[in-house]
Amino acid sequence: MREIVFDTETTGLDPKTGDRMVEIGCVELVNRVPTGATFHAYYNPERDMPAAAEAVHGLSSAFLAEKPLFRDTAAEFLEFVGDAPLVAHNAGFDFGFINNELELCGREAISLERMIDTVAIARRRHPGAKLSLDALCNRYGIDRSHRVKHGALLDAELLAQVYVELTGGRQIGLELAADNAPGEQAHEGAKEAILPRASGERREPRPHSASEEELARHKAFLEEIDSPLWAN
């Protein structure tokens, strides 16, 4: 199954008040394994960059001024994601900005049915724990030492690793997959690798009750014992 893990950077928190998306990074997974295919783009937001937002991701108005407008390159993004499920951390936020940009350029919004929210998954798996991307990287031992500031592609790459851990981790190939044949075949293959088939001739099952001859020999043996405890 193909999935796209993605992240966005923006000018603020709410597209309804004029905030815009300025960066997007996407990582392709197939059967929860990164394929190496990515999509990354910066966009001119056609507005100023608030200092608070620039402090988070480091993207200045001057840097973004020469970048393309989303409406001019939207087709490239849509072609990359195709019809795959879209995975994001606090996905409602990112979907809100992407769909706002699509609306501004007269394109159809992406259905929320395609949304997979890793915050919701983490909340179910680790109730009461910290759910930030940094906290989940720490929990699963994912190296984030190179994450000095937020960056859409870097964060998508880290989130892809977190998502794999949240949905089975390195043992995912051993999980039961009753609802699709490839999963069943993978599971059967794993079982065969773990439990090798017996080789050689099979012996007939041993009887678990004594024969008449064995009972007679046992009785004779007991009669030879002087002063047995069970006779007192």
Look up 146 and say whether it is catalytic: no
Residue 212's alpha-carbon distances to 35, 54, 117, in angstroms, are 69, 92, 71
Cα gap 10→13, rounded to integer Å: 7
What are the start-end ranges of the E strands in the chain? 2-10, 21-30, 33-42, 86-88, 115-117
* 60 and 149 Cβ atoms separated by less than 8 Å: no
Which is catalytic among the residues 150, 187, 208, 218? 150
Amino acid 92 reads: G
Residues classed as catalytic: 150
